[in-house]
């Protein structure tokens, strides 16, 4: 299998992720999801959405992406923009909570059923945000996606980058 350009372990992890995503999609209750148009991608885990004249700022549940001033911050934002553009700017949002800044905390997925948190994690464009996994019903899917990025040393896993929560803490000091 090595001659084909991939390792068996990577293939197994990919199969596990695909199965986890399939289970998530089957169990996903779209009754609680609302369709919105993305009007701005602030960074790799925050968007602004609009529907019927109402605008909301949404923080992605489950993940924490590099801040724009950090290495890969702009790459993370641009990757999320690309995913949203592929869906013609349309997303479905399952609001889980409101954070201390008044942002909605939500799981976000495209019309094509791409779970954006898992997409960001698997591309190495965000970290699983362990501190806030309680607001993430599909934490296992995002954790599995991150494992794939770690094994393949993608994005934030290429080097020992400072985690976004550590960066923000230093900025406040």
Residue with the larger pLDDT of the pair 135 and 137? 137
Position 146 scores a pLDDT of 98
What region does 111 belong to: left with phi over 0, alpha with psi -120 to 50, or beta? Answer: alpha
Mean per-residue pLDDT for 37-50? 98
> Which DSSP helix (H) or strand (E) runs through 107?
strand 104-110
pLDDT at residue 94 is higher than 80: yes
Torsion of CA 99, 101, 102, 105, to 10 degrees: -30
pLDDT at residue 18 is higher than 70: no
DSSP classification of residue 162? P
CA-nearest of 83, 18, 6 to 44 is: 83
CA-nearest of 172, 169, 57, 60 to 116 is: 60
Q: Give the tens place of pLDDT for each residue, 70-91.
A: 999 999 999 999 999 999 999 9
Q: What is the pTM of this model?
A: 0.82
Q: Give the tens place of pLDDT for each residue, 106-118.
A: 999 998 789 999 9
Mean per-residue pLDDT for 17-41? 66
Are 141 and 21 in contact by the 8 Å Cβ rule? The answer is: yes
> Which DSSP helix (H) or strand (E) runs through 86?
helix 73-86
Position 20 scores a pLDDT of 55
């Amino acid at each position: 299998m090595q001659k084909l350009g991939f390792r068996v372990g990577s293939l197994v992890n990919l199969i596990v992720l695909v199965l986890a995503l399939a289970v998530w999609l089957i169990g996903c209750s779209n009754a609680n999801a609302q369709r919105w148009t993305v009007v701005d991608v602030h960074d790799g885990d925050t968007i602004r959405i609009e529907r019927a004249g109402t605008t909301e700022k949404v923080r992605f549940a489950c993940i924490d992406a590099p801040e724009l001033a950090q290495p890969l911050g702009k790459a993370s934002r641009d990757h999320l923009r690309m995913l949203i553009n592929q869906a013609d700017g349309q997303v479905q949002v399952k609001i889980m909570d409101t954070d201390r800044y008044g942002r909605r905390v939500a799981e976000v997925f495209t019309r094509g059923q791409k779970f954006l948190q898992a997409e960001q994690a698997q591309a190495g464009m965000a970290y699983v945000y362990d501190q806030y996994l309680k607001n993430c019903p599909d934490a296992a899917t995002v954790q599995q996606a991150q494992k794939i990025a770690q094994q393949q040393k993608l994005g934030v896993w290429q080097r020992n980058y400072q985690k976004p929560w550590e960066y923000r803490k230093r900025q406040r000091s």
